Chain A
């Protein structure tokens, strides 16, 4: 038993390094997507102290809208542009109808409001697009579908072109967001608003504009994630569950930290894959990926309640 836990898995890793690489690669692909979704959460949290429960359903909604529009015979790329338009309208609508009347309410009220948005989007999505599983329009978007086979150390490493595209696009988006937040005036406005509303107003930042902007960015992230995940697993409401993987990511990384979201996402992606292949399947009968991240987060919380990168909370008594 001890041998199975502490020795055999590592012997396997060293024995078949090409397979280990394969596992790590697949972990990285999910990790990048987790990081991207977590970034959506962090952005909204930093600029408005709202924990946006609806981020997950936004992924589904964006993917459904894209596929649905294409089903009407609209060319793929125009559908993407239109979907972005829909996400923008959604952002404006949420700011007008939900956030603005609730300004200054306790955080829990705003959190509840995002659950309301979630239910609304689930219902709306089902009425408009139907609940059945759909194919992502991968080929129409020009996403390559083949694979590249590498042979490190005489072994075998298969890289799906879809996955490569996902990693490249997600990394680009993350880098672009970081640049935008750190080196532009609008990015500074977003970060500033989270720190102090009154001060933000006094330097000419409009709450409304920034809120619409961050929700729109969250919408863009949702669309990219939706396309990426839809290409691998099809488009259905089950996608929402994947977005909830961002929750343990945030617990690891801390809700405040952008770097934390990225590192947390990659960590969860890699660790859950490693655990599944080397421990889960031989010892626990597999399918550990559904719960591993949450258990990991639980353990981290026991020892570091502020997350791995969150700021330590010291309360004055």
Chain B
């Protein structure tokens, strides 16, 4: 386990900063079902943090708590050194938490460019009236947003489909557009819910490269859920392992790989 107080240096020599987000004793119940039971972990500035586990382990629920779609039954979410009060998802988004969804949630009727532009909504400052009149500040803001968006589009290599309605794109590209929309928000923390789900090997490689590049280029903190163990072990700095709503492991990929509980959870064990 790396030192908890100050940050650490990764195997490939990147400096990881202090704690950005911390989950403290989180429990989530739906009626009588306990989806998450007493889990704590932290996400540090600049790291790629993975949450893994078999089906039904509670990974997506955890991501939904971080992004404000669920409110934990018990426990606290600490963000940037302060306790975060219960919030609506759009309020959490405005605090700099951007996310993608397991089963892609894009605005199908709008073009790629428009979709990515919605990512800038959290940076909207001009009032509605000013926007309606296409007036001074609103106009400058639109230009500024457009610049950021073009940079992201460039970065993710989707320039050639800028004007295509999203509904017409193939699955792999949709995933990339969703990532672009999240990136356009210039988030403090980027949540990826199974970014590689349903992709072929080549698409997975592309996506892994983009995730690493994003982290490298913009220093974005990334928390991701993924099923593909190979990918997770390759790209993440630290891994939380969940099983049946409980945390069974936490540490660097190599630490996790040699953890007996984790091996049991994944390979099954005689009860």
Contacts and interface: CB of A to CB of B under 8 A. Distances in A.
Contact of A202 (B98, B131, B141): B98
Given A202-B67, A202-B89, A203-B185, A196 B98 contact: no
Interface in A179-214: 179-180, 183-189, 191-192, 194-196, 198-207, 213
Interface stretch (B7-15, B120-128, B153-161): B120-128
B109 A191 contact: yes
Contacts of A180: 131-132
A256 interface: yes
Contacts of B94: 204
Nearest to A311: B109
A241 interface: no
B167 to A, nearest CB: 9
A103 interface: no
Nearest to A193: B107
Interface stretch (B48-56, B110-118, B246-254): B110-118
B110 A188 contact: yes
A176 interface: yes
A213 B132 CA distance: 12
A192 B107 contact: yes
B138 interface: yes
A8 to B, nearest CB: 46
A304 to B, nearest CB: 19
B105 A188 contact: no
A187 B89 CA distance: 20
Nearest to A191: B110
A192 B145 contact: no
Contacts of B122: 203-204
Contacts of B41: none
Contacts of B108: 195-196
Prevailing SS type, chain A contact patch:
helix
B76 interface: no
Contacts of A192: 107, 110, 115, 118
A71 B94 CA distance: 46
Contacts of B181: 203
B39 interface: no
Interface string B126-145: 00100110100010011001
B245 interface: no
Interface in B15-33: none
Nearest to B120: A185
A8 B167 CA distance: 49
A206 B88 contact: yes
Contacts of B115: 192
Given A184-B142, A195-B110, A203 B134 contact: no
B105 A185 contact: no
Contacts of A185: 117-118, 120-121, 124, 131, 141-142, 145
A189 B105 contact: no
A187 B130 CA distance: 12
Given A191-B109, A256-B109, A202 B99 contact: yes
A200 B115 CA distance: 10
B107 A191 contact: yes
Interface string B220-249: 000000000000000000000000000000
Interface in B133-192: 134, 138, 141-142, 145, 181-182, 185
A176 B129 CA distance: 12
Interface in A12-35: none
B88 A189 contact: no
A255 to B, nearest CB: 13
A188 B117 contact: yes
Nearest to B131: A184
A184 B91 CA distance: 21
Given A183-B134, A184-B131, A185-B142, A199 B106 contact: yes
Given A180-B131, A183-B142, A185-B131, A196 B105 contact: yes
Contacts of A195: 106-110
A65 to B, nearest CB: 22
B118 A203 contact: yes
B79 interface: no
A224 to B, nearest CB: 15
B114 A191 contact: yes
Interface string B43-70: 0000000000000000000000001010
Contacts of A188: 110, 114, 117-118, 121
A195 B120 CA distance: 17
11 contacts: A179-B134, A180-B131, A185-B117, A185-B121, A196-B108, A201-B93, A202-B89, A202-B93, A203-B119, A203-B121, A205-B118
Q: Which 9 A-B pairs have the closest CB atoms?
A: A199-B105, A204-B93, A195-B107, A204-B122, A201-B89, A184-B131, A192-B107, A185-B124, A206-B90
